[in-house]
Amino acid sequence: MTLAHESVATPDGVVPPRFRPPAGSGDAPVVSLDGEWRFRLFPRADTGVDRADPGTDWDRLAVPGHWQLAGAPHTWPYGTPAYTNVVFPFPVDPPHVPDENPTGEYRTTVRLPADWPADGRTVLRFEGVDSWFQVALDGELLATSHGSRLPTEVDLTGHLRPGADHVLAVRVTQWSALSYVEDQDQWWLSGIFRGVSLEHRPDGGLDDVRVHAAYDHTSGTGTLRVDAAAVVGAEGVVDARVTVPELGLEGRSGEELTALVEPWSAERPRLYDVVVATDTETVTLAAGFRTVAIEDGVFLVNGRPVKLRGVNRHEFDPLRGRAVTPERMLEDVLLMKRHHVNAVRTSHYPPHPRFLDLCDRYGLYVVDENDLETHGFEVDGWVANPTDDPAWTDVLVDRVTRMVRRDAHHPSVIMWSLGNEAGTGQNVARMAQAVRELDPTRPIHYEGDWSSEHVDVYSRMYAPTEEVELIGQGIEPPFERADADGRRRGLPFVQCEYAHAMGNGPGGLSEYDALFDRYPRLMGGFVWEWIDHGLTRTDDAGREFAAYGGDFGEALHDGTFIADGLLLPDRTPSPGLVELAAVYAPVRVDARDDGSLLVRNRYAFRDTGHVELRWTLHRGADELAAGALDLVLEPGTEAVVRPPADLMLPDPGPEPVWWTVRAVQDKADALDEGWVEPGLVLGAGQLLLVDRAPLAAPSGRVTATDEGGFRAGPALLGARGELLELAGRTVHAFRVDAWRAPTDNDRRPGRGQGQSDEQTWYRAGLTLLGERVSGVETLPDGALQVASRVSGPAVRTGFDVRTRWQPSGAGDDAVDLVVDVRPEGPAPENVARLGLLLALDVPEAAGTGVRWAGLGPEESYADSTRAALGGAWQHTVTDWQTPYTHPQENGARRGVTSAVLTFADGSGLRIDAGDTTVGASTRQGIELSLRPWSDQALDRAAHPHELVPDGRLWLHLDAAQHGVGSAACGPGVLPDARLRATPFRLRLRFTAV
Ligand code: IPT
């Protein structure tokens, strides 16, 4: 029995694919059908409802939208979202899908406006319907379509009578045969989720317009050819007038027009209005002249090598799912531009066409990806994969054709992608061939077939830096087939996904970026991914939180893997995005070992005339001197800069002195208009010019207390040397620590790693450390020395600890602490941290203010520290936390030489850090973390709103912390940022203030 929605067939009853100009660019009438439609949800595809039934008394549902989100964030009247990444949430039994198949019946009334032209044709357009649907008018079935993220048009000419109301019925199933090729890593969400419109197509009008706008960088000439065609009703070439008023160009369709032009690039998105007109229709398109080429294995735009500093973007809104509004699209584009992203891969489907209009306008290179993923077949070794099945050829070619036809006029699209994670097979070649015939001007991308036989670039995901380096040099291990290997070696290399931004991370971005810069063959890459898909919902107490897989009670789900973006679900940039901006910086300012800064103009086309290189000499937050460097760099050039020779440096004081240079863009010309905010930092770097003054050696003496313990300045210790009180606050915990609440990256073994870091730490007993004191003695110099051993259960691994307390001076306000720690027993592969845990009773800990001198203002880790700058910063303890969608280690600040905590009652605690030794290296200050809850609570919480302050302030005073890496889907922490169990020493001073 073949059910309609289980048939592997191309859409039926639809208009051939054609271009999609920006809204409002043409003069043919259009009416939107968006708004409230009538709706009923049925449990099976066979709804039994009459297509002619107008549904007058049915529910109302917003179109566009997903029915699962109709009542979000509070109610779920039509089923709930469900998340799986790779696996299908139904049996792999193609082309069949379960009988349990939520199916929406949509109804609306269609009436042509009174002034609708009598001639020509009328087309009903759907921009996106997830997933399979049928369209009927007044009970008559007119079309069957699919391709959730692709447009469908139905010719209604002859079915609509002027002045009459017609019943438009759309039946949408959640599952269909086509679900097997739409297995993208995202929420399963259904319905008419993009706009619907009624469009007039005048006789002799411009149904389809193809724009070829090339740029010859050797002569500065732009070549324009516009082809126009009738597509709706009858197909054929249309003769149109083509003018480019700004260039004084006039001609006809099919002709080549040339002029000297300014080219389009993501850096300078120069667009020209191209007016295409017949007697009955005029369309004005924004064309950009640019040429994409691959020469000698190097990816070029307008003749210059361009590095793609990209991100993977899914369409996502925390309340609306993939039914994104134009405001959200603009927000994404502006956030990308402001964080120096220059490229987007539209993972893993063509985006709403308006997004591409914005990419044209603001300047982003786009890899436009076909709506194809068959990842679920991988589980069973790709048996029956549609990508290799001739029965599916037409469907897959149809999809890629619809994408190219829709989007080819966009200058921002620089590459076509055949799909994602769809394995290999003959249909890769068929799709590639179809794309080449439609558009020979853009390279083709597909990662799933590592032979790269049918594509123009060699693409991989999550390749570790070592491998990327070999590929950069062209000496990567050979591909198993020699014929394919030779060709592939000549292709440029792109990482269509890298640096998995899940939770705290990614670490190691700088290393990739440096390789992209170093090797011409490397054309850059796209970080996975732009935003956490956390859907807003309320808990039983009415509190909102961002839901991930499992939060809707799904029987089968992939949990937190949906929260792996650079933005939190509400589009707050995570520290990962701030780091990315610093790494992707178009004007990089990097410290060199010889005490100079290297300023690099990494634009391909732009000099730095629009950039001011401002410097400041500052101690903490206090500016001592300021100026600007007189320097304009041509694209791709660099210069070494140093502090002015006559700069007066102060003597060492309580905070270090930095010389910080920021490349600032204040002004926006017409091409930067709209996204550059005054003070936009394009890149920054700094030099440490004056170290903080060393802490004077302590000189006070510990005294005995009546209770048999000790007093050391503001520290009260028990008879066994245990810290009982500090600065008048009860101490809840104080000991050496080596564990952290695992990050998402810690929880998975990185490529080539046997076990996850989380497991390594667990097996070394680090999750349950305890302390045994072996000796307490007062030393002749007045210090109290405590010897102890810190270790966890079941293992011999532990730490030998010597703690020395000594009042800093004669007064009672300050105490010095020196801690020397040596690991003992079998050493784990790595440890999470090496430092001290201190928990103080602080009733309103969350509101505690903290001002620190060190790196900031955002968190930083050993392998994600490019964005952090030395200075002085302040926060409350609440703001110090990064509320990752899935709670985990966060908030560390590195290089902290001093911190002042101000409690709600006005009292405070100052912490000064002297030099820290880790193994053989000495570093300035400590890594500081503060939390109003414990690491255990952080680890247990499933969502940030479950974390409740426990009346204590939990501090980590660390010599060092392990990096964060990208192991959730990529490589683990790189060797440089791995923390080994190694001897360390901390020198601290606590002052009650
Ligand atoms: C890769 C997918 O292409 C992407 O959609 C996403 O699922 C990512 O993984 C993980 O978040 S595929 C993976 C097997 C490398």
- Hey, whose CA ends up nearest to atom 6 of ligand 1? 185
* Substitution site in 528, 548, 564 for ligand 1 pocket (most atoms within 8 Å of beta carbon): 528
* Substitution site in 84, 86, 184, 185 for ligand 1 pocket (most atoms within 8 Å of beta carbon): 185
* Substitution site in 88, 316, 461, 566 for ligand 1 pocket (most atoms within 8 Å of beta carbon): 461
Half-sphere exposure of 679 (CA within 13 A, CB side): 0
H-type helices in 346-493, by residue range?
353-362, 393-407, 426-438, 465-473, 482-489
Active site residue 722: no
CB of 123 within 6 A of ligand 1: the answer is: no
Specify the ligand 1 atom closest to the Cα of 85. 7
Residue 517 Cα to ligand 1 midpoint, Å, equals 25
Catalytic residue (one of 476, 497, 655, 859): 497
Return the H-helix or E-strand segment holding 516: helix 509-518
Euclidean distance between CA atoms 66 and 544, whole angstroms: 20
CB of 497 within 6 A of ligand 1: the answer is: yes
Specify the ligand 1 atom closest to the Cα of 184. 5
Q: What phi and psi values does residue 465 have, to the nearest 5 degrees?
A: -55, -40
For the chain, what percentages of helix, strand and coil (3-state, to nearest 5) are there? 15, 35, 50
Catalytic residue (one of 6, 199, 369, 421): 421
- Hey, whose CA ends up nearest to atom 7 of ligand 1? 185
The reported pLDDT for the residue numbered 751 is 79
- Hey, whose CA ends up nearest to atom 10 of ligand 1? 969
Residue 185 Cα to ligand 1 midpoint, Å, equals 7
Residue 210 Cα to ligand 1 midpoint, Å, equals 34
Specify the ligand 1 atom closest to the Cα of 347. 5
Residue 150 Cα to ligand 1 midpoint, Å, equals 22
From the CB of residue 335, how many other CB atoms can be counted at a distance below 10 Å? 20
Q: What is the pTM of this model?
A: 0.98
CB of 132 within 6 A of ligand 1: the answer is: no
The reported pLDDT for the residue numbered 85 is 96
135 forms beta bridges with 143, 170
Specify the ligand 1 atom closest to the Cα of 421. 3
Residue 498 Cα to ligand 1 midpoint, Å, equals 10
Q: Which domains are delineated in the chain?
A: 294-581 (3.20.20.80), 589-690 (2.60.40.10), 733-992 (2.70.98.10)
915 forms beta bridges with 924
* Among candidate residues 791, 774, 795, the one with its CA nearest the CA of residue 737: 791
- Report whether the peptide linkage leading into residue 412 is cis, meaning its omega lies within 30 degrees of zero: no
| C-alpha to C-alpha distances, 442 to 51, 349, 374, nearest whole angstrom | 43, 17, 25
CB of 185 within 6 A of ligand 1: the answer is: yes
CB of 561 within 6 A of ligand 1: the answer is: yes
Specify the ligand 1 atom closest to the Cα of 502. 11
User: What DSSP line would sit under 204-243, residue for residue?
Assistant: T--SEEEEEEEEETTTTEEEEEEEEEE-SSS-EEE--EEE
Euclidean distance between CA atoms 366 and 215, whole angstroms: 18
CB of 183 within 6 A of ligand 1: the answer is: no
Which residue stretches of the chain have pLDDT < 70?
A: none
- Hey, whose CA ends up nearest to atom 5 of ligand 1? 185
Active site residue 421: yes
Per-residue pLDDT reduced to its tens digit, 849-872: 999 999 999 999 999 999 999 999
CB of 528 within 6 A of ligand 1: the answer is: yes
Q: What phi and psi values does residue 79 have, to the nearest 5 degrees?
A: 80, 175
Tokens 């597909």, residue? 446
From the CB of residue 96, how many other CB atoms can be counted at a distance below 10 Å? 18
Residue 294 Cα to ligand 1 midpoint, Å, equals 27
Tokens of 144: 């069957």
CB of 461 within 6 A of ligand 1: the answer is: yes
CB of 462 within 6 A of ligand 1: the answer is: yes
Per-residue pLDDT reduced to its tens digit, 451-485: 999 999 999 999 999 999 999 999 999 999 999 99
Specify the ligand 1 atom closest to the Cα of 564. 11
The reported pLDDT for the residue numbered 1 is 72
Residue 654 Cα to ligand 1 midpoint, Å, equals 48
Euclidean distance between CA atoms 264 and 248, whole angstroms: 18
Report the SS3 class of residue 336.
helix
Give 811-863 as a 3 state SS string. Answer: CCCEEEEEEEEEEECCCCCCCCEEEEEEEEECCCHHHCEEEEEEEECCCCECC
Residue 461 Cα to ligand 1 midpoint, Å, equals 8
- Report the relative pairing of strands 82-84 and 413-417 from DSSP bridges: unpaired
Specify the ligand 1 atom closest to the Cα of 420. 3
